[in-house]
């Protein structure tokens, strides 16, 4: 079975960057651009070679929607609930990220599981993937 990583990002260029990195590590990326795609893909591949999820914070709930809400937090909830490692990768300014950190903390408390990482300030997919694969121990 091919090992897979879900990548959730609505901006084409960023999605491609992340997917290229995932493929370079030998995984099959499952690209998603909406919350709906991501949740369906988690359901479809849970227990079928899915090793983790990289997700942006802001993207539309469904195709054609606007990326106003923090849909990534719903993906985080679904991932932790299913016991799948997840890393958030966002360009959110860490000085203004208290609300997001609080909500991630609330999800962790509710599910009893921790996110594998929350990359802030820039979409550093390489770092996010390293955190997901537990390769950044020296950081």
Partner 1 sequence: MEKKDLKVLVVGEFEVINAAIQIAVDLYGVQCEVVSIEDAEEIIFVGDYTHIIVALERDDDREKGIIFHNLLKIRLPAWRKSAKLFKAGISNVTADDYIRVPSNVMDDIATKIILA
- Contact residues toward partner 1 (CB under 8 A) are 2, 7, 12, 15-16, 19-20, 23, 28-33, 37, 40, 63
Shortest Cβ 110–partner 1 spacing (Å): 29
CA dist 45 and 17 (Å) reads 22
Question: 25 Cβ partners below 8 Å, 6+ apart?
Answer: 129, 133
Q: Which is nearer to partner 1, 16 or 136 (CB)?
A: 16
Q: Which is nearer to partner 1, 20 or 102 (CB)?
A: 20
| Residues 90 and 57 sit within 8 Å (Cβ to Cβ) | yes
- Partner residues linked to 5 by β-bridges: 29, 52
CA dist 23 and 19 (Å) reads 6
Shortest Cβ 21–partner 1 spacing (Å): 11
Residue listed under structure tokens 């121990």: 137
Q: Which is nearer to partner 1, 31 or 97 (CB)?
A: 31
Q: Which is nearer to partner 1, 17 or 127 (CB)?
A: 17
Shortest Cβ 63–partner 1 spacing (Å): 7
């Amino acid at each position: 079975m091919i090992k897979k990583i879900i990548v959730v990002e609505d901006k084409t260029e960023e999605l491609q960057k992340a997917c290229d990195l995932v493929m370079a590590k030998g995984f099959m990326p499952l690209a998603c651009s909406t919350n709906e795609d991501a949740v369906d893909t988690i359901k479809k591949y849970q227990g079928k070679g899915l090793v983790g999820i990289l997700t942006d914070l802001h993207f539309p709930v469904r195709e054609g929607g606007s990326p106003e809400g923090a849909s990534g937090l719903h993906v985080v909830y679904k991932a932790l609930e299913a016991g799948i490692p997840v890393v958030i990768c966002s360009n959110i300014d860490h000085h203004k990220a208290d609300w997001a950190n609080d909500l991630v903390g609330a999800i962790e408390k509710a599910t009893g599981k921790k996110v594998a990482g929350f990359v802030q300030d820039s979409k550093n997919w390489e770092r996010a993937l390293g955190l997901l694969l537990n390769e950044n121990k020296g950081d």
